[in-house]
Amino acid sequence: MQGFTLDERLQRDSALIATLGLSELRLMRDKRWPWLLLVPQRPGVSEVFDLAPLDQTMLTFEINEVARALKEATGAEKINIAAIGNMVRQLHVHVIARFEGDANWPGPVWGHGTAEPFNEDEMAALAHKITEAMARS
């Protein structure tokens, strides 16, 4: 996408697992929770209402597809979805699988403790489960 460059912190903290119509779908390098990011490939956007109307609708579609697939792939108790961006201003939407008894349940994941990295095999296996669930829907 012309002019779009992924924020350095998002790049470092997550890995690309698919490119959707609007967004990069990325998996956070933190095995405490199955935690995805959707990053719309649009330059200079930090609030959802700064997106063009059609992009807003596409983002909603992508969030819902990804959230449903994440729930199906993981059997999560609840999916948490958020656009926060107090630290990284490039618009990115969190889609996170939560389980009773997980780290910080029922509190939020943001700002809690420090990331626990996956090994590459674990990360690839989770990414595969999620993209498979997306392909089925």
- Binding residues for its own copies, per CB under 8 A? 46-49, 56-57, 59-61, 63-65, 67-68, 71, 77-87, 89, 98, 105-108, 110-111
18 or 81: CB nearest its own copies: 81
Query: Residue 119 Cβ, how far from its own copies at the closest point, in Å?
Result: 28
CB-based contacts of 45, cutoff 8 Å, min separation 6: 51, 90, 91
In whole angstroms, what is the distance from residue 133 CA to residue 131 CA? Answer: 5
Q: Which is nearer to its own copies, 2 or 86 (CB)?
A: 86
Across 103-125, b (16+ Cβ under 10 Å) vs e yields: eeeeeebeeeeeeeebeeeebee
Q: Minimum CB separation from its own copies for residue 59, in Å?
A: 8
Nearer to its own copies, 15 or 108 (CB): 108
Question: Least Å distance between CB 124 and its own copies?
Answer: 25
| 88 DSSP assignment | -
